[in-house]
Amino acid sequence: MRHNKKINHLGRTHSHRKAMLSNMASSLIKHKRIFTTVAKAKALRKYVEPLITKSKTDTTHSRRVVFSKLQNKYAVTELFADISAKIGDRPGGYTRILKTGSRLGDNASMCFIELVDYNENMLKDTTAKKSTKTRRSRKKTLATQSSEAVEATSLIQENAPSAEGKAES
């Protein structure tokens, strides 16, 4: 039975899975977004989010703990310098998974995994005001169109007698 066995092995041995997640985490920190399968992205999220939380406290111990997981000193310096400053006030949820469809060769479900605070398109959408359009607004537009039509006909009727008066004289 598999009670309390929550880790997805991803069809790999322990050492292969550990190396793969370390490389993917380094790539995610370096590029801020990577394209992978949904299963790997979910495993990577569980791997990288505690590391980002650890990077909020910039101590020698936390740097050594993160380096033992990543094995890439450039990724560690990027994490502690830029990323931790940008996500300092966020309580969690540092990554976002956006599903993109299926891969052509083997029909695997693919996705983007990205750091939340680094997607400019999503940040613009949250700051922009949403329109207050509802489905009921169509009735209002019909009412305003009919009132505009009434006003237009009244203007035509007012202008018509004056034009006839000019023609008679």
Q: What is the DSSP string of 117-136?
A: GG-HHHHHHHHSPPP---TT
Classify 113 as helix, strand or coil. Answer: strand
For residue 2, what pLDDT is reported? 86
User: What are the pLDDT tens digits along the chain (169 aa)?
Assistant: 989 988 999 999 999 999 999 999 999 999 999 999 999 999 999 999 999 999 999 999 999 999 999 999 999 999 999 999 998 899 999 999 999 999 999 999 999 999 998 887 877 776 666 666 666 666 655 556 666 666 666 666 666 655 555 555 4
For residue 159, what pLDDT is reported? 66
Of the chain, the end-to-end C-alpha distance in Å amounts to 105
| Residue 80 one-letter amino acid | F
For residue 124, what pLDDT is reported? 76
Phi first, then psi: give them for residue 33, nearest 5 degrees: -160, 135
- Phi-psi category of residue 129: left, alpha or beta, with phi > 0 → left and psi -120 to 50 → alpha: beta
